[in-house]
Chains A and B, each alone.
Chain A
Amino acid sequence: MIIYIIISIMFLIGIYGMMVKKNIIKIIIGMNIIGYAVNLFFVVLGYRNEGIQPILVPGIDIKEFVEKAVNPLPQALVLTSIVIDLSTICFLAALSIRIYEKYGTFDLEKIRRLKG
């Protein structure tokens, strides 16, 4: 149970970072934290205390295997999700470099030109 509370606290910290902070780098870090929280959530879904790896080798009892093996699906999903996070964050980092070249600052207050 405690792990889910930690995950929701992480998620809220990430949302706080993205919504409240004015520095682009801090916003990207907040986004990273949200990504970690969601990925951790997926990993925890598949976790099983004293589980075994989900590979069916000869000589193992099917019933025991079903009871003990961890769920491999969330792990496969987390890999995909990490790649998606990675590409988004790479893009945002490149974008912030471009913005720094044009404005000379990472502060959102100083570069805000658009309204609405």
Chain B
Amino acid sequence: MNLIIFPVILYLFSAFFIALALKENEKLSGIACFSFSILSFISVILIGKYLILNERIIYFVGGWKIPIGITLMVDNLSFIFLFILNLLLPLICWFSFSYMEKYLKAGYFYILFSLISAGLNGILISMDFFNIYVFLEISSIASYILVSFGLRIEELEASLKYTILGVIGSAFILIGIGLILGKTGTLNIADFTFIAKNIEKKQLWFILGLFIAGFGFKCALFPFHFWLPDAHSLAPSPVSAILSGIFIKITGFYLLIRIVSNIFIMFPESKVILIGLGLVSMIYGAIMAIEQNDIKRIYAYSSISQMGYCVLSLGIGGYWGYLGAILHFIFHSLSKSLLFLNSGIIEYKYGTTKIEKLNNLVEEMPYISTTGFIGMLSLAGVPPFGCFWSKIIIIIGAIMSHYYGISFICVIVSIITLGYFLKLQRNIFYSKSEGVKTGENNEFNLNLLMPVIILSIFIFLSGIIFSPYYKIWIDKAVKNIESFSYESLMEK
């Protein structure tokens, strides 16, 4: 079953195709990138069709079996991430058609976009430590460049900060991989879990610590967060939507799930660390978001806070904890991409995202204010929308595992989230004060509007018809986190 290499190959091909043939023609390179992303989405749907009957898809590169060759695998957990990633990428690519017009050399944007997508898809399908590292670096380097794509002064500085911290995080991960290679002589994850059973526990603590620190950098957990607000708020809006919506989740959160619950199963204690880190970054992000004066900065701090929710829920564990983590990942991805694209439209029309310069947008942009309202209500956890369900499941999970204090803090942070989003909504869209400049460019741009509307319909529907359509997939993924061990692949 070699269907699973298609998401990576299509995007890599798209990158080189655009770089060689089309980069001078911005329109054509955008259309090429969009059609490749649609093809990749179709291949993911086919993977899902195959996964209905089978538990996982394994592909041996070059026919070499597990201890020797590179192995690729998609199971139900990585399928959820693959699906959300490949659902968002075509929409974001569509959005960039109009948004990237004002940038010079937009053809290069699509090359980097394809590379970042190929890297993210590659992380999800590979089952080899070094392979994961290489794909992580492909997507990270593309994202460093994309943050500074506009070449404004602040963007250069944010990209510098982001690159320096990203390199330190990658160095931690690489040292961890080196220690694994030195200790067990293998890089295959299945083989490693098989060998690690017989190794003394205290020799593996250091590796686990390095991995948690490294992926904590990528995931912007509390002590390692300080690159995120600059990088995510100053990047071009489609890039912010990729970075905040999906990049930090796959490079940080997905790999943390794998490390903590599938690979280093012998350390149940590590979950306490995750609870601590998640709790602190949840509170910190919410408190810092209150006093920001830029729309995208508020969204960026909110990302830190919501990633805290995800990691906290992963740390709580149990059926409800894992269910909450997966659901919160899905809804936060959709809502945060929606909000960043939304702020991109505002930036496109008015040239700024500063709160004090924007006023009473509801009359000029009724669609945008509605979709923004849906996204904000969803993130704040207001009943019919997506994040309400995931947050209440996280709270149930905390109560079930007897963490009563944590469930209380979750409620409080959720209320703070609602507070800063309502303040933002009122200031930008509904307050009427005279003398604030509004834009003249009031055209109805379908390229910018359609992705946002599609995303908000997704969020609205996924909240209302909650369970029946995708509950089975989420349940399979939760079962995967709970009981899957790579060791079971060794018999084949």
Contacts and interface: CB of A to CB of B under 8 A. Distances in A.
Q: Determine if chain A interacts with chain B.
A: yes
Interface of A: 11, 15, 18, 24, 27, 31, 34-35, 38, 41-42, 45, 71, 73-74, 77, 80-81, 84, 87-88, 91-92, 95-96, 98-99, 102-103, 111-114, 116
Contact of B178 (A38, A84, A87, A111): A38
B364 interface: no
30 contacts: A15-B168, A18-B167, A31-B164, A31-B167, A34-B171, A38-B174, A41-B178, A45-B178, A45-B181, A45-B182, A74-B181, A84-B134, A84-B141, A88-B163, A91-B144, A91-B145, A91-B163, A95-B148, A98-B148, A99-B157, A99-B160, A102-B156, A103-B153, A113-B154, A113-B157, A114-B157, A114-B161, A116-B226, A116-B229, A116-B230
B187 interface: yes
Given A92-B160, A99-B160, A84 B151 contact: no
Contact of B230 (A18, A24, A114): A114
B141 A87 contact: yes
A111 B159 CA distance: 13
Contact of A42 (B145, B148, B159, B178): B178
Contact of A88 (B151, B167, B178): B167
A38 B176 CA distance: 10
Most buried by A among B141, B156, B185, B234: B156
Given A41-B178, A91-B145, A116-B288, A34 B167 contact: yes
B373 to A, nearest CB: 27
A71 B159 CA distance: 38
A52 B227 CA distance: 46
Which of B137, B151, B229 counts the most chain A CB atoms within 10 A?
B137
A38 B171 contact: yes
A110 B134 CA distance: 35
Interface SS of A by simple majority:
helix
Contacts of B141: 84, 87-88, 91
B224 interface: no
A114 B158 contact: yes
B175 interface: yes
Contacts of B134: 80, 84
B185 to A, nearest CB: 8
Contacts of A112: 157
Nearest to A46: B181
A77 to B, nearest CB: 6
Contacts of A92: 160, 163
A24 B157 CA distance: 11
